[in-house]
Amino acid sequence: MYDKVMESVEFINKQINIKPKIAVILGSGLGNLTNFIDNATEINYKSIPHFPQSTVIGHKGQLVAGNIGEKEIFVMDGRFHYYEGYSMREVTYPIYVFKKLGIEKIIISNAAGGINETFSNGTLMIIRDFINLFGTNPLIGTNDERFGSRFPDMTNPFSEKLIVLAKKIAVDFGIKYSEGTYLGTTGPSFETVAEIKMMKTFGADAVGMSTVPEVIISNYLGLEVLGISCITNMATGLSKVSHSHQNVIKEAKKIEHDFCLWISEIIKNI
Ligand code: HPA
């Protein structure tokens, strides 16, 4: 895997003449952040050696390199989900590539269902902690010490420094936010009423089908992580309407403006 990662890195480096230290992964329906990028170079995932392909509607499947303000960044417009049939290694492959490209900080976003009953459609949640309910772990398998240690610590998977910055920017720009625990599960079926009740007793505030594998690998590789959930619907049993991916995209689009403003200002001030 190490050699594959280095081939992907070499290919990407040939397409760009910048050296970003910040990367962003965009959740479903949140791709508009790419419009905030100056001097953008778009690299289709298909063209990158060893990169998996994105198959979900609302996810474009391109890596965008460029500037937001003075800061150089990479943005992943489209991510890889476990429910698409990728292995955990494939789901998290781009994080390994980011590390070897020189990334130090990563902002990981998602669309999620609200479990905390103080939330509603459009709530932006800073992720303070996570629960891994994927039933597996992206680090299972032989460990390559060139990437990280066998048993990475998860006491603080999200950077307190980045959380403090995110809160300050939110206050400065009048963006409302909440904080909570994100529970990651495989999907692709939405949760049952009984499952949401269980997740609530577990201490989850939001549920989604991504992010957890990427956060685990980011910590393993020593990246500082900021996690943001966009609540696109209240979870099963807490919502009067049934769920659909179209609805998730539609609701994400409504939050996109605040989300993009927030993330771009965080990046400028990192
Ligand atoms: N459940 C799981 N994933 C989601 C949801 C949900 O309710 N909404 C958006 N992603």
Question: What does the pLDDT look like over 217-234, one tens digit per residue?
Answer: 999 999 999 999 999 999
Tell me the average pLDDT of the chain: 95
* CA-based nearest residue to 108, from 75, 86, 136, 131: 75
Report how far residue 126's alpha carbon sits from residue 246's, in angstroms, rounded to the nearest whole number: 24
CB 203 within 8 A of CB 178: no
Report how far residue 211's alpha carbon sits from residue 134's, in angstroms, rounded to the nearest whole number: 11
Report the pocket of ligand 1 as residue ranges, CB < 6 Å: 111-113, 190-191, 207-209, 232-233, 235, 243, 248
Strands in 12-91 per DSSP E: 22-25, 38-44, 62-68, 71-77
Sign for the CA dihedral angle at 149, 150, 155, 156 comes to positive
Lowest mean pLDDT among 27-31, 164-168, 203-207, 254-258: 27-31
Whether residue 57 is predicted with pLDDT greater than 80 in this model: the reply is no
Report how far residue 83's alpha carbon sits from residue 185's, in angstroms, rounded to the nearest whole number: 9
CB 270 within 8 A of CB 39: no
Q: Is 257 a catalytic residue?
A: no
Query: Residue 30 — very low, low, confident or very high, per pLDDT cuts 50/70/90?
Result: confident
CB 229 within 8 A of CB 125: yes
Query: Residue 60 — very low, low, confident or very high, per pLDDT cuts 50/70/90?
Result: confident
CB 226 within 8 A of CB 218: no
Q: 99 CA distance to ligand 1 centroid (A)?
A: 28
Query: What pLDDT does 58 receive?
Result: 56
Report how far residue 181's alpha carbon sits from residue 155's, in angstroms, rounded to the nearest whole number: 13
All structural domains of the chain: 2-269 (3.40.50.1580)
Q: 35 CA distance to ligand 1 centroid (A)?
A: 25
Query: What pLDDT does 166 receive?
Result: 98
Q: What average pLDDT does the segment 108-114 reach?
A: 97
Whether residue 63 is predicted with pLDDT greater than 90 in this model: the reply is yes
Which of 72, 84, 224, 265 does the annotation list as catalytic?
A: 84
* CA-based nearest residue to 114, from 237, 198, 262: 237
Report how far residue 118's alpha carbon sits from residue 28's, in angstroms, rounded to the nearest whole number: 23
Query: What pLDDT does 211 receive?
Result: 98
Query: What pLDDT does 28 receive?
Result: 83
Whether residue 55 is predicted with pLDDT greater than 80 in this model: the reply is no
Query: Residue 138 — very low, low, confident or very high, per pLDDT cuts 50/70/90?
Result: very high
Whether residue 59 is predicted with pLDDT greater than 70 in this model: the reply is no
HSE at residue 196, side-chain half, CA atoms within 13 A, is 21
Beta bridge mates, 98: none
Report how far residue 113's alpha carbon sits from residue 135's, in angstroms, rounded to the nearest whole number: 19
Q: What average pLDDT does the segment 43-62 reach?
A: 82
